Structure 1
Amino acid sequence: MERTMGEWFEKHTIGNLVQDAANRFNSREALVFNDERWTFKEFQEDVSRAAKALISVGIKPGEKITLWMPNCPEWLHIFFAAAQIGAILVPINTRLRTSDLQYVLQQSDSTTLITKDRSGPVNYLNMITEIYPEILQNNPRERLSESFPELKRIIILGLEQTQGTLDYQDMISQSASISDQELLKRLDSVSPDDTALLMYTSGTTGFPKGVMHNHNILRVTTDSINRMGMTPNDIVLMYLPLFHAFGLYEGALMFIQAGSKMILTEIFDPEQALRLIEHEKITMLHGFDTHFYDLTNHPNCSTTNRSSLRTGLFASGMASSVPVAEQAQRLLCPTITGWGMTECGVGVGMSFLDSPFEDRCAGSGYPLPGYEFKVINPETGLSVPPNNQGELCVRGYAIMEGYYKKPQETAEAVDQNGWLHTGDVATLREDGYLRFFGRYKDMLKVGGENVDPIEVEAFLINHPSIKQVQIVGVPDPRLSETPCACVILEEGHQLNQIDIDSFCRGKLASFKIPNNVLILQDFPMTSSGKIQKFVLREIAQEHISSLNY
């Protein structure tokens, strides 16, 4: 599909946002982190220094910069600085370890890695030297490894350094060698149609793919700002990881575009979040059901002054999310529901501020301007009638440019007419309202019968002993696979297979009743709060195998 956004929306680049915000909001507070505060002008100056520093170490337009660090002001500086000089940022999950880091650096062709020395118990520097032992013999300005021929420099933020790396603050001090005119020349050479981001999918279905987006993603955040009524008077609490599209777009991009103040934390801690809501008079907060569950169930929630909260984006819609969404409305604020994914520019479906209660709890919103939704039968490719489940397809101006160096996977995901086939199970009402139900790949095939795990989860969550439940398939020699209930219990409760059978018998079809129950303390999660069902499936399979051994 031909993109015509430029004909009706003035294009901008991400790098220009910072100077624009400094011109408009100058001395207003922009950012708070660990009790340190920056105005928009001060933030702009820090970003300019970072951009000049990146130029000074030799980073060229189009080069990839892998950024591997938790939330901090420097993360934001590098993000906007990379955009200003025409580089491509590759933000990666801080939970990645050596093999994952090796894959991303190789697959992305990154020339630069910027990371911290350590964060809490995690020692990033040790992991780097494990991957690149030869770094200890290298000059920091020379190629580091024959195994990673594109990687030219590793830059470390923190007190610990090692041979072969550059110190982040030393790099920043080199910014004085680059003139304002040289930086402006680089900034002016960047086109809105240039690739700005290479974001690796968070891994709910296995090995990640690099999703390419250009600067036109700003149209999505502009429309999100408008739909949420976001203004310079808003104060946004951002505990979501910036390396994830949710945190990056709803946090880093939207606060600078709207002129709002962002209160940034390194991690999500519900006690800290509640304290900041009261102390900083937070007006907006975002998250998945995990975040809202922890906030509303924390013992400090009832004693925290939450009156400043206005709204926030709750990625809800699944049956298991509805009780949490309803509780968030009662105890926090009237949230907006949304749907999105990395491939289409995160939240491209959103409800409205005045949407009915049910739509804000049990739906996923209407498409943003310039986007189209349709729901198809994945076997025939034909649209299904309203309110019938099928695969959600999305088309719009900020659909990914493609998966980096994966043309076959790109062609499988985006058809010739520009429709992104999401792999999500959804329905569309007659008025175009979206409801997300889960992933097609999670669907079970039990003796030839399709079993929707979400349906079984929604039923089992009503059991008094069950706090959380996920249904996964485990291999069965006769039925191909059977359902396994992975359960987190309510405190002080017990549960076994007989309890599940008696609870389900006569109320669910026999092939939908879990044949096995696995009691867990918690579920494997991505750092952005999504349950990793493929990991949960592996855990369940190992458990069943051990029982049959």
Structure 2
Amino acid sequence: MTDVDNWPPNPTIGLMPAEAARRWPDREALVFEGRRWTYRELDDEIARAARALIGIGVGRGDHVALWLSSKPQFIFLFFAIIRIGAVAVPMSTRYRRIEVEHVLRKLDCAVLILTPQVGPADLAALAREVLGLDATPAAGGKVAVADFPALRRIVLAEPGDMPGALSWDDFLGHADAAPEGEVARRAQAVSPDDMALICQTSGSTGLPKGAMLNHRVIRLGLDRTAAQGFAESDVHIHFLPLFHSFGLLVLTFHSILTGGRIVLLDRFDAAEVVRLVDREKATTLHGFDTHYRDILAFGDRHPEYDLGSLRFALFPAGPESLSGIVEEVNRRLCPTGSGYGLTETSTTVTATPGGATLDQRARASGMPMPGVELRILDPDTGRDLPPDAPGEILVRYYGLMTGYYKQPGATAEALDAAGWLHTGDMGLLRPDGHLRYLGRYKDLIKVGGESVSPAEIEHLLLRMEGVAEVAVVAAPDPRLREVPAAFVVPGPGATVTLEAVERFCTGQIASYKVPRRVISIDALPRLPDGKVFRRALRERLAETA
């Protein structure tokens, strides 16, 4: 188990793998599609990528966009960028034209490194369209795009075709151009207070904002590994997207900080997860409700696979609608731990302690970690609320974002003068000291003068026969302003109608909470972090109104 005090004082993110290589040089660090890297080999890959970045002209403070699938190159590049004092800008592979244009221009990206094809998405073609590169000649191996004045280089992390872009092999060939010892010199010049990365908010209600994070998040990672008992014997199945802070700053950091082994998948596939747990004797999973439901279902169909090596599953909990699946995972797989956080807090700032009860694992979001302060405020009066009273969650600690990049107005709205982050999330502090996350305030439905929580209705409807999944959003109403609408994923062979939902809900919840519309859907749209993409559902409602 990792002791916070055993790490060097004021560590920096770029040197984390180097410290791990010093401690555990011959331990396996990374597994991907049958290939394996020790910690020494992992650090060698990062060092080579760092030299190549210097060789193509990446300087201190330059912003480097990573538009990559979850493959080893992402890990190599992420730590290499930060090691030489540049700033990593992870981008979702689900982004399309408007979002790509927004990030590359507004965040002043000097270099774009991309995977040309991710599943059916042709990212190279999309980048050509956004940048207009088909009509832009390359000069000296660089690109020049008038509408994106900061952009100088494009690198393809895998084979593909794009004007002016360096292939992966050509990129690595530039490592020879880096002066001897330059990587080490730049790494030593990095301060823990320097900006290390810019993580994008989910964009669930608009274009993403770039949250600026520094190296202080390492301390949070160390405290989290200690709270949740991670050790060098752990084998972590990693299917969460690396461009998202949960997959990058939680799971990846956990493993490197403790000398564990990452078994990496470039996408979630329940069958492959179960097979890898059996083959690699994995000890941990990290994911959301959909992931665990699929894993349990595949495991039921294939009892020949042994999942008995699992000892811990990180599963953010709190809303009552999740309690049933959390309890099922605890009963059938292994104990779970919860946590609460968001991009602006550089991931989870709470953790479920060892020895927690099932109720605390299933209906709470963990306890604040050392140095983390939480408050629950009445959003109308601004007053602090007592235990068990729901209000807005405020967070203050050493690792909060320093602000949104070049958005002082949005920064001032989120961070007050006393250093508190106003999250916009609804939650409560339980008498036992655990936080309980209840949902986003913007997702509340205002029915007349009444506030309705979608999570309450979802929890009820999940008990209805024939309902496999459900998400409730606000539908416009000329008299009441908003009413609940339920998007339902029916179970196999089931049909769920509005009339059936009304009959089921009557007498169980107040009449104004009963959904006025029911829409059957094959699958709920989700954001990269696994949360339901409620904006997409609201847009679908508007289209069918």
Q: TM-score, normalised by structure 2?
A: 0.96
State the partner residue of 2:266: 266
CA distance in 2, matches of 1:57, 1:295: 43
User: What one-letter code is carried by the residue in structure 2 that aligns with 1:504?
Assistant: C
1:475 and 2:447 equivalent? no
3-state secondary structure, aligned to 2:174: helix
1:161 and 2:173 equivalent? no
Q: Is the 8 A contact 1:26 1:39 kept in 2?
A: yes
- Describe the superposition over 1:219-273 as per-residue Cα deviations: whole angstroms up to 9, x where unpaired: 1111111011111111111000011010001222221111111101100100000
CA distance in 2, matches of 1:502, 1:278: 45
1:205 and 2:214 equivalent? no
1:137 and 2:137 equivalent? yes
Aligned ranges 1:264-343 → 2 under 5 Å? 264-298=264-298, 299-300=300-301, 302-343=303-344
CA distance in 1, matches of 2:284, 2:80: 26
Moved more, 243-252 or 116-125: 116-125
> Which of structure 1's runs of 4+ aligned residues deviate more than 3 A?
140-143, 299-303
3-state secondary structure, aligned to 1:338: coil
User: What one-letter code is carried by the residue in structure 2 that aligns with 1:257?
Assistant: L
Aligned-pair CA distance for 1:469: 1.4
Aligned-pair CA distance for 1:203: 2.4
CA distance in 2, matches of 1:73, 1:508: 49
3-state secondary structure, aligned to 1:137: coil
Distance change (3 Å), C-alpha of 1:140 and 1:279: farther
Aligned-pair CA distance for 1:380: 0.9
Aligned-pair CA distance for 1:10: 2.5
State the partner residue of 1:459: 460
3-state secondary structure, aligned to 1:498: helix
CA distance in 2, matches of 1:485, 1:166: 48
Moved more, 85-94 or 322-331: 322-331
- Describe the superposition over 1:197-217 as per-residue Cα deviations: whole angstroms up to 9, x where unpaired: 100012233321111100111
- Describe the superposition over 1:405-449 as per-residue Cα deviations: whole angstroms up to 9, x where unpaired: 111111111111111111111110123211111111111111111
3-state secondary structure, aligned to 1:15: helix
Aligned-pair CA distance for 1:9: 9.0
Moved more, 316-325 or 82-91: 316-325
State the partner residue of 2:93: 94
User: What one-letter code is carried by the residue in structure 1 that aligns with 2:47?
Assistant: S
CA distance in 2, matches of 1:433, 1:118: 43
Unaligned 5+ segments in structure 1 are none
State the partner residue of 2:20: 21
1:345 and 2:346 equivalent? yes
Identity among equivalent positions (%) equals 38
State the partner residue of 1:373: 374
State the partner residue of 1:254: 254
1:83 and 2:91 equivalent? no
State the partner residue of 1:61: 60
Q: Is the 8 A contact 2:211 2:401 kept in 1?
A: yes
Aligned ranges 1:343-422 → 2 under 5 Å? 343-422=344-423
CA distance in 1, matches of 2:302, 2:295: 7
Aligned-pair CA distance for 1:385: 1.4
Distance change (3 Å), C-alpha of 1:140 and 1:432: farther
Moved more, 490-499 or 104-113: 490-499
Q: Is the 8 A contact 1:239 1:267 kept in 2?
A: yes
Aligned ranges 1:432-443 → 2 under 5 Å? 432-443=433-444
Distance change (3 Å), C-alpha of 1:506 and 1:312: closer
CA distance in 1, matches of 2:429, 2:438: 11
Q: TM-score, normalised by structure 1?
A: 0.95
Please tell me the root mean square deviation across aligned C-alpha atoms, in Å: 1.7
State the partner residue of 1:234: 234
CA distance in 2, matches of 1:99, 1:159: 25
Aligned ranges 1:208-219 → 2 under 5 Å? 208-219=208-219
Q: Is the 8 A contact 2:485 2:515 kept in 1?
A: yes
3-state secondary structure, aligned to 2:13: coil
User: What one-letter code is carried by the residue in structure 2 that aligns with 1:450?
Assistant: S
Q: Is the 8 A contact 1:236 1:262 kept in 2?
A: yes
3-state secondary structure, aligned to 1:364: coil
Unaligned 5+ segments in structure 2 are none
CA distance in 1, matches of 2:269, 2:398: 36
CA distance in 2, matches of 1:243, 1:519: 31
CA distance in 2, matches of 1:364, 1:34: 34
